[in-house]
Every structure is written in structure tokens, then in C-alpha cells.
Chain A
Amino acid sequence: MSNMFRFLFDKDTWQELRESLTKNKLRTIITMIGVWWGILLLIGLLGSAKGIENKFSVQFGDYATNSVFIWGQTTSKAFKGFQQGRYPGLKLSQLEKIKNQVKGIKFLLPRNARDAQVVRGVQYDNFGISGDFPLLDEIQKKNLISGRFINQLDINDSKKVAVISDDVYKQLFAVDENAIGEFLKINDISFKVVGVFEQGDFDFGGDLHIPFTTFQKVYNQGDNIGWITVTGEQDFNIRQIEKDVKLALKNLNYVHPDDNRAFGSFNLGELFDRFEGFLKGMQFLTWFVGIATLIAGVFAIGNILLITVKERTKEIGIRRAIGATPFEIKRQIILESIFLTIIAGIFGIISGGWILIAMDFAYGSGPDSILINASVSIFVVFIAVIILVLFGSLIGLIPANRATSIKPIDALREE
């Protein structure tokens, strides 16, 4: 062991390594490209996959991903005396029944929405208005900049209050103006602003949230609902819940069970699953391609060392004549192999890191960013280095054995 230690810290060890590698610099560099490229791929692709994943989770934010949106459409089949082309719609009064009939529903949230002109002083524009319950904040966490979201008191008293998006704020308010407590006119009715929120990428629905009950009264909605958001319990399959809710709705509204047009839906959980699958596939592919490239690169190094050993047959013969043991010859060649793989690997890690930094710089910031914090963990880098050392020493064994399989006498005779 102390022998090995001295071997690694002896100047001659490294001088010999340098000599044998710099004898043919171009060949050494070309040899290293394979390993360099393998590691670069591994770091670059894994980093990008991580960046996309990060971006995606930021986009979804705190949205409960096991959710489905359901809305009413027109029927496509005649059933129980009703003609096709009817609009059954969604009814507030049916929600309690649906929640009781379908298993696994955590939240069932009715929403209403429409476009309206919003006026403040001389400023005005058209925005989407939605009538909401406080529960919305649970399913789709609202990122409030100031003020509060709609609360139960607003619902109970059908208060004329509004929570506005940063977009609305920018359109209707001056820079740095305090919006809380100010009044807006929606369809000529005055609403007090109680909160400002930052709009996310996956915000379905309005620029302005007003209490559900207020919306009902102002727009004369009665029992009608625009759409519902259904969130499933942890252990339940959101696709099954989607089917069950639709079937319950069909039953309650005298719609043919096979009528697939009567109620439309959009399953966020399904989309999310598909995306997660895609990410997993991408990561698998990255490891596969990276490791395969790495193996090819390491083989190239082994191959070139084999040629080097052939060229150095005589030198190895001289060394053995003056007393080098086969082990001493072997460890030098294995060291060369490990050294080449590690140096190439470190260059790969560094250049892979640069690529990630460049990607982050080009695509990583602002609202249109494609990747967020594209990076690889130290753990992955560590694994990569371990693999390199392992592969390097394994492949080094081939030329090393070749070097000592020739008898010194034959080696010396070689011209």
C-alpha cells in the first residue's frame, strides 16, 4: 500500500506518463474525445431534462395536478323523449349528489366565467370575470402580491369585491399606485379591489375573481354553472373519477350513457402523467446514450493504449531487463488509462457545465423561459467519475497484460 502511495507521488511516474502521452499528442487528444463526448452528453442532457422538469413544476405551480375540468355541451343522442342537440348544462343543485355518488372526490368546485368591460376612471378594457369560492385557492394556489383572496364572508353576503390579476392592475392603475380599497366598474357595477395576484401559466379562468354568489346575482345565473373542477383524493385514479362524474351527470340530466358529446372535459392529471412519463423516458435515454457513448470512448482509449504498448515493446523489454517486475509495468499502463479517462471526463463535466450555463443564460430566465435551473446534482457527477475510474482501469488491463505477456528477450529483439 505504501508502495502504491509512493508510486503515485513519484515524479518519475508522472514524467513517464507525460512522455508516453505527449509522444503523439494528436492521437492522445482524439482518443479522449470519445469519453469527453460521452460525459458531455450525460451532463448536458440530464441537466436539460432537469431544467424542463423544473420549468414544468413551476408552471403547474401549486395546482393540484390530479384535477379534471368538466363543462356542459350539447347532446348528440336522443334519449328518454329528449331530442338530440339539447344543452343539459351543469347545475349547482346537482353537485352535492355527484359528490355523494362518486368515490374519491376531494374537492368539487363550481365556477362561472364571462367577459366584461372593466372601467376605472377613464381607463377601460375587456377582461375575463370569474365567480369563485375561497376553495379555488386550495386547488390552484393564488400567488397574491397584495391583499387577500375571496373569503366565506364575501360569499355569504354576496359582497361586491374583486381580486384582480397583475395584468388588470397594470392596465388600470398607475405605477406604484395602491389598488387595495380602490373601486372598479364591472358592467357599470362598482366593485372594491381586495387583492392583487400574479397570473400563472396554467391559470384557467379569469383576470378578475369575484365571489361566486355575487356573480350569480349580477349575471342572473340562478342554478347554472359554467364548469366544475374536480380534484381527486391521493389514492384514486383521476381518469376513473372523470368517467364516474360524467356518468353521474348523464344520469341526473337524462342523457344517454354513451353520449360522449354532452359533457366536455380536460384532464390535467392525464396530461401531467404523460409529461412525467416523457421526462422519465428522456432521462432513461440520456443515461443509455451517455453510458453507451462512454463505453465506446473508453474502448477507444484501450485500443490506442494497445497500439502504444506495441510501439513501446522494446522500451518495456529494456525496463524488464534492468529489473522492472510485470506488476510495475502493468500499473504504469493502467495509470495511463485511468488518467486519460479521468482527464477526458473532467473536461466533459466542465464543458457540460458550460453548456448548461449557456442554456440557462439563453433560455433560462424571463416569462418565456424553456428551462429553469438546468443542472445536474453532485451525486450524478460523482457517479460519472466513479464509472470513469472503473472503466479506465478495466480497459487498461488489456494493454497492460499485452505488455507483460511478451518475454523480455523477445521485446529486446524487436527492432
Chain B
Amino acid sequence: MLNIKDLHKSYDMGESSLHVLKGINLKVEKGEMVAIMGSSGSGKSTLLNIIGILDELDEGQYFLDGIEIKDLTEKKSANYRNKFLGFVFQSFNLINFKNALENVALPLYYQGLNRKDRLDKALFHLEKVGLANWASHMPNELSGGQKQRVAIARALAAEPKLLLADEPTGALDSNTSKEIMKFLQQLNDEGKTILIVTHEHDISLMCKRIVKLKDGIITEDKKIKQHKIK
């Protein structure tokens, strides 16, 4: 599903440059649920951005579903993001002037579906996250957990091959966090490949594999027994 070979990334900081990722090798198979851990500055966000085709790598190779991601035009990378990837952010990033249903339908708009089809499909995914009754509510009328579920529904709407979650529980209390993680586990059980960036230990235990990052290199990569939420 995902294959990263000897990935390097540095940022120009005026005269000096900051070497953020120093040779990452990572292989993720279909159906995995991986937690990428690390303190701030470890390079985990940069890695996620490169995996999410939001940023470009300097050196190395990155294959997504067998396709090498390299020197893409803005248009092409937008298409790949739309087709392959679903994003879930810490701060939800819903568009606040669109209701829940329209937010979920937005990736489908960029896929070129007509309005009726995309609203039907969006409602189906909203139902899946248990928020069908909240379809016409605006984001500011929803709780944090509900917002994140709408965001997950939006990430799923385009039927991506890979779900990328950047601190998905970072802005939620522990009960709601569990609820969201339980839902992600369900999705994973259904066969969805999920990558979660987190710095919370208990969240990482709910995944099937933990990859630890420190100072731009992978220090630990182990499969664990998943802590299932009931």
C-alpha cells in the first residue's frame, strides 16, 4: 500500500537548513492500522505531509499503491489526494458555512459528481458515522466528537485507499477520544488502511503497529496486540 525508501527532507531556514527527516524507510500493508509517534520536532508531521502529498520529498522514493509520487503538478497531486487519501485533522477543519452533509459531500464535488449523487453518497457516509440526523446542522452546532465524526465521514466519502489522521483526538476529552478511536478501529476491521499521528501513548496502544520517530529517524517499529475498545 505504502512504501517509503530512504526518505530525506530538509527545510531552508535562511542561511542554514534544517534536516528534518534523515532517511526514513517505512512499508505499510493494506489493512494495517499504524500509529506514528514522536515528540514535537521529531518530524512526524513532516512525514505525514509527505505521505499526504501536501509536501514534497527531497531524496528517496515514495510509492503509494504502486505509483511513485514524484514531481507532480499541483493539479495531479490534487487528483491523487482526492482519489487515494482521506484526511482527518486535529482541529477538524470543517468549512463552517457548510452544513454537515455539504462538508461530507465536498470531496465528491471535486471528483465531479453531480449534486444529487454526491448528497446521496454523503448521506450514506454520514449515516455510517451515526450522524444522519445531524445532516443539516452547521459545524458550530455540533460537539467536538460530532465534528470529528463529520470530518471522518468526509475523509471516507471519496473512498480513499489510505486514511491519514493527524492527532485526531488531540482536541477531544478522553471519553470522546475513545469513541472516535473505536470508530477508527471498526473502519480498520472493515479493511481500511489507517495511519494515525499521535503523541499519546494510550492512543497508540489502540493501533496494531507503533512506529516511533526521533530526530528524523525511526527508532522503533513494532507490531503490538491491539487494545480493542468495547
Contact = CB atoms under 8 A, between A and B. Distances in A.
B49 A320 contact: no
A409 B158 contact: no
B115 A328 contact: no
Contacts of A166: none
Contacts of B75: 325-327
Interface string A2-23: 0100100011100000010001
Nearest to B74: A326
B93 A314 contact: yes
B115 A321 contact: no
Nearest to B86: A322
Interface string B82-109: 1100010100010101100010001101
B95 A318 contact: yes
B81 A323 contact: yes
A404 interface: yes
Given A407-B54, A409-B49, A409-B55, A323 B111 contact: yes
B216 interface: no
B167 to A, nearest CB: 13
B79 interface: yes
Nearest to A23: B97
B154 A322 contact: yes
A326 B74 CA distance: 7
Contacts of B95: 315, 318-319
A310 B136 CA distance: 28
Contacts of A409: 49, 54-55
A324 B111 CA distance: 9
A314 B96 CA distance: 11
Contact of A320 (B78, B102, B114): B78
Nearest to B87: A321
B78 A325 contact: yes
Contacts of A72: none
Contacts of A12: 102, 109, 115
B60 to A, nearest CB: 18
Contacts of A320: 78, 81
Interface in A257-303: none
Interface in B95-140: 95, 97-98, 102, 106-107, 109-112, 114-115
A321 B77 CA distance: 10
B207 to A, nearest CB: 22
Given A322-B158, A323-B107, A11 B78 contact: no
A322 B81 contact: yes
Interface in B145-177: 154, 158
Contacts of B111: 323
A328 B95 CA distance: 17
Interface residues of B, number: 28
A141 to B, nearest CB: 67
Interface in A13-54: 19, 23
A357 to B, nearest CB: 40
A412 interface: yes
Tell me the dominant secondary structure on chain A's binding face. Answer: helix
Nearest to B106: A322
A321 B54 contact: yes
Chain A contact-residue range equals 20 to 34
B54 A322 contact: no
B74 A323 contact: no
A19 B52 contact: no
Contacts of B97: 19, 23
Given A11-B115, A19-B97, A409-B54, A321 B81 contact: yes
A414 to B, nearest CB: 11
Given A12-B115, A322-B87, A408 B110 contact: no
Contacts of B54: 321, 407-409, 412
Given A320-B78, A322-B110, A322-B154, A412 B89 contact: yes
Contacts of A326: 74-75, 78
Contact of A328 (B98, B110, B114): B110
B55 A323 contact: no
A407 B110 CA distance: 18
Contacts of A412: 54, 89, 93
A266 B93 CA distance: 81
B78 A323 contact: yes
Nearest to B164: A321
Interface in A360-415: 404, 407-409, 412
Interface in B35-63: 49, 52, 54-55
B74 A322 contact: no
B50 to A, nearest CB: 10
Given A23-B97, A315-B95, A323 B115 contact: no
B79 A322 contact: no
Nearest to A324: B110
A310 B74 CA distance: 20
Contacts of A325: 74-75, 78-79, 110
Contacts of A321: 52, 54, 81, 87, 93
A324 B74 CA distance: 10
Contacts of A408: 54
Interface string A132-148: 00000000000000000
A405 B102 CA distance: 26
Given A321-B54, A323-B81, 14 more contacts: A12-B102, A19-B97, A19-B98, A23-B97, A321-B87, A323-B78, A323-B158, A324-B110, A326-B74, A326-B78, A328-B78, A407-B54, A412-B54, A412-B89
20 contacts: A10-B109, A315-B95, A318-B95, A319-B106, A320-B81, A321-B87, A321-B93, A322-B81, A322-B154, A322-B158, A323-B79, A323-B81, A323-B83, A323-B158, A324-B78, A325-B78, A325-B79, A325-B110, A404-B74, A409-B55
Which 8 residue pairs are nearest across A and B when measured between Cβ atoms?
A323-B82, A323-B110, A19-B97, A325-B78, A409-B54, A322-B107, A325-B75, A318-B93
